Chain A
Amino acid sequence: MSANGWTTLVVFLPPALLIFTVFVALPMTEAAWYGFFNWNGYGRPEKFVGLKNYQQLFGNATFLRSLVNNGLIIAVSLLVQLPLALGIAMMVAGRIVGAAWFRMIFFLPYILADVAAGLIWRFMFDGGFGLPSLVTGALGIAPYYLLADKTWAFSAVLIVTLWKYFGFHMMLYVAGLQSIDKSLLEAAEMDGASAFQRFWHITLPLLGPMIRLSIFFSVVGALQLFDVIVPLTGGGPFETTNTMVSFLYYFGITRMRVGFGSAVGVVLFIICVTFAFGYRRIFMRDD
């Protein structure tokens, strides 16, 4: 390395390294350390319990349920949200009248604060005066309270997540679509390729990097979903709508079981890191 290179290193590395250590490495190491203690957050952790927190965690039906719920969010994001976002992106990416307006309208839910979205939908799902009441009222049957139904309440979370984040992915796709060279599509059209063939053989492959990026955001976002849950369902009814992070909050922080909560954090961290590195190495190597 040249003398100049060393100077750059000495000047620019310490701030970044310091920030990373103080805000990422240290808290993670501390959390991992707390995970071995039965600790309520007051004073220093003293009651060492080894792996007992982890044992409790994997024997906890609510935690296992929240893992399944995270899986469901990922599934719905990948199978419903992304195709939907792509479909709408195709419609609003072109230079047609009002496209910019539609893009903005579809993007609006994403800008809205998660907590506000959760509160709004809590009212929308209310059996007494929300959307279900229009249906049950018209049919003359008893009101239906989706958020109080332990079998279906989680579908409310899925709907809100879908509604809230598809605009973000749509925007990614719009940007991707607009960067595709139009002459490729025109050439294919002249050669007699059908609309589907053009989409399948030209648009989709060229959109590849954007799709891989959007899947990445989608999965990481799904693993960390929290803000919508709290105002919408609070994890209820009967703890059927928790995600890992809301589980951490309700069973670690509000119950002052900081050691146990840290163990949840460590598990979440391992899942996220494994996914992030694995995915980037396998799918995003060339992007």
Chain B
Amino acid sequence: MTLRKSLFVAACIAAFSAPAFADTNVTVLHVSENPAQRGLWEKIAADYNASHKGVNVQMKYLENEAFKAKLPTMLQSDSRPDLFYSWAGGVMQAQDKAGFLKDITADVATVDQTLSPTAVDAFKVDGKVVGVPFEQGEVVFYYNKKLFEKAGVKAEDIKSWDDFLAAVKKLKAAGITPIAVGAGEKWPMHFYYSYLVMRLGGEHALTDAKAGKDGGFKSPAFVDAGKRLRELAALEPFQPGYLQTSHAQSSGIFGDGKAAMDLMGQWLLGMQAPNSASGKGLPEEDIGILSFPVVAGGKGKATDTLGGINGWLVSKSAPPEAVDFLKFFSQEKYAKEAAASAAYIPVVKGADASFTNPLFKRLASDLAATTYHQNFFDQDLGPSVGRVINDVSVAVAAGEMTPEAAAAAIQEAADQQ
């Protein structure tokens, strides 16, 4: 045997006979690219490992798309994670239906009382708790204060959809691109459609549509939302070539002050600077927040909020230590740290007081005072119907599809489920 061969054999033997661990391993699989968030989570895991002998919690990262594509296979294999990232909604329900999730209702009952009730409800399937939320977000219009001033637009005067359209016209007249949108990725446009459905149909619009009431997705709320969206897009408020713009590019356009508004989740605040041409973006004191306007005659309230709800799901075979770690993770002190460093908006009640960043503070107080919080439509409905909502939002805005045809397309996708 040559030296190289014997080395190879030795390596193989070493690889297949890893030393037996006395420790209980808990793997946590996530998709976060936010350094502040990851840093905090690593720290929580390290704290837990230090105080719990014989348990080894490991945070593992997978890129977003890869995570979504691999998870179904991973959950059916022996290398499944014990805890994994989730956006709740349709995918979570499918995972539960296939029997991959652990029922942790009794284990986390006390923890859940300390968390935001809407976020807790999002992680229930048929009344059974399958996960623990950690963050909640809100989609709002971020606006450039200087550009608003230049065009003579006053944010505090924008209350209704008509006020908003008037502001868009005013910005355009001043030679400013009113809105940046990354329609190349489609989902940024579905925020408009979703909010319009919420403002028009109120808090029951989506649940009723899912239940097939009042024509399902062909109900007036969905058709009218399409009409309003087209009404906005007909003013040509978006940056030129918006159909090919990616989400990162549109964040940069906003950061460069080349567009006055961006309807986006809280992560825009972390993205506008690195994606801007200058690399500096807008200083935070020049960014304002505007809630999505109410639509006259609609059933929704100005305080109804749309935003993601993220949490951890527990896989069926997870050891009890995994659930114990979740409880440890959900402590108020870590939520306060998340708030103080503006890493994310934690769902632990009372943590919003720890925000020092005024923009995050505003979002957290909106969420604390919400009259109805809706998870992202494309997450809530699951990937099949969700992606159709994204597709039709862009098609309707661009005038490629009528609002009626769009509503019918969503219903068709729902019927195929």
Contacts and interface: CB of A to CB of B under 8 A. Distances in A.
A234 interface: yes
Contacts of B186: 236
A177 interface: no
Interface majority SS on A: helix, strand, loop or mixed? loop
A6 interface: no
A253 interface: yes
Contacts of B73: 41
B395 A42 contact: no
Contacts of B100: 42-43
B387 A255 contact: yes
A4 to B, nearest CB: 27
B241 A145 contact: yes
A43 B400 contact: no
A256 B95 CA distance: 12
Contacts of A56: 416
Which 5 A-B pairs give the minimum distances between C-beta atoms? A145-B241, A43-B98, A42-B98, A148-B243, A147-B244
Interface residues of B, number: 31
B99 interface: yes
Interface of B: 65, 68-69, 72-73, 75, 91, 94-95, 97-100, 184-186, 240-244, 382-384, 387, 391, 394-395, 398, 400, 416
B183 to A, nearest CB: 8
A148 B244 contact: yes
A209 interface: no
A41 B75 CA distance: 11
A101 B240 CA distance: 41
A38 B384 CA distance: 12
B244 A40 contact: no
B349 to A, nearest CB: 33
A276 B164 CA distance: 58
Contact of B94 (A38, A42, A127, A143): A42
A42 B72 contact: yes
Given A255-B387, A256-B384, A143 B416 contact: no
Nearest to A53: B416
Main SS of chain B's interface residues?
Answer: helix
Contacts of B91: 256
Which of A127, A128, A239 has most B Cβ within 10 Å? A128
B64 to A, nearest CB: 11
Given A42-B98, A254-B68, A256-B91, A128 B240 contact: yes
A143 B242 CA distance: 12
Contacts of A126: 241, 244
A196 interface: no
B241 A143 contact: yes
B241 A40 contact: no
A256 B394 CA distance: 21
Given A236-B184, A255-B383, A127 B240 contact: yes
Given A145-B243, A237-B394, 9 more contacts: A38-B416, A122-B244, A126-B244, A128-B240, A143-B240, A148-B184, A148-B242, A234-B184, A238-B395
Contacts of A127: 240-241
A34 to B, nearest CB: 12
A257 interface: yes
Contacts of A143: 240-241
